[in-house]
Structure 1
Amino acid sequence: MQGEADPAPIGDSEDDADDRSSEGPAVLRGARWGRVVAYGVLPALALLLAMAAGYLKWLDSLVRDPQEARIESVRAATDGTVALLSYKPDTVDKDLGGVRDRLTGSFKDAYTSLTRDVVIPGAKQKQISAAASVPAAASVSATANHAVVLVFVNQTVIVGNDAPTGMASSVRVTLDKIGDRWLISGFDPV
């Protein structure tokens, strides 16, 4: 009949409807917490982890950079010292001329002048040869762009046909980092 209401579906009583309406806010509360976690807590946690990783990387570089500077500057001072103090009379121009690319500043100018005016002519005229070795070297101080290295040098000098003369000395080598190379800017006997 047309005026009668449809009977309620089976199992759908007023009690069940009340249960569903009371579950609604609980389900919504759970969904809200899920969204808070997904869109708030997890991104914040990821950001904190990224910031912590960046901070630790920065701390690592603070420790690592001076150590690398020490190692590189000691190697450059050692190799540079041997090159500065070693030559043969036949190749003295080439030996000492090639050293200039390891030098910088006023020391480069002074070394160039000394070798051009005194060492090269003397080595050719008197047949002087010198061989240097560095048995030990140590970093005195090092920053990212400046270093001081103490170098212990053994040098053997032969004049003409005379017997070799050995000398031991120590030198304070000052270096500056220009680009990616350590260049000698000071060479002072101590």
Structure 2
Amino acid sequence: MAGDTPSRQISGKCFVVRDNIDTDQIIPAEYLTLVPSKPDEYEKLGSYAMAGLPPHYGQFMEPGKSKTKYSIIIAGSNFGCGSSREHAPVALGASGIQVVVAESYARIFFRNSVATGEMYPVECEARICDEFHNGDDVTVDMERDVVVNHSTGKEYALKPLGDAAPVIEAGGIFAYARQTGMIPSAA
């Protein structure tokens, strides 16, 4: 999101993972020296997103690319567990991911996703990661709180984002605080 005009309906190809995807799998520790506030390092951080995944998940990032062909991740339970690194949602956002739909999140990852405004962390009502495949065409509709797998024609209920949505759409917690007058805007 990070300051872009938000869309509450996101369509694209999905990448599917299962349970307990930790922050070391999302962005391995050796890339934490990259500084996301520097544009070239932000882009490089995105190119390493999901670099720690086991090979059986398939290829998230094509070699030599800084953006993935996927815009949506479908995940199982406890997505983003492990360390509290903010680099994890930032790397996903920098890679081109706009939304993660998971059965559940590690609390700190969910909070970091909202605070950075990089992508929407949406929870689904049911376990859907077993019913989606890499490359399925998907729409996540946060106005209707559903995710649609166009490859199968099935629709699944999502839990509403509630008060987190405007923070993400503003571009993160500091942008939201400035936008709402909680803290003064930079002159």
TM-score normalised according to structure 1 size: 0.24
More strand by proportion, 1 or 2?
1
Greater fraction of residues in helix: 1
User: Which one has a bigger Cα radius of gyration?
Assistant: 1
Per the normalisation by structure 2, the TM-score is: 0.25
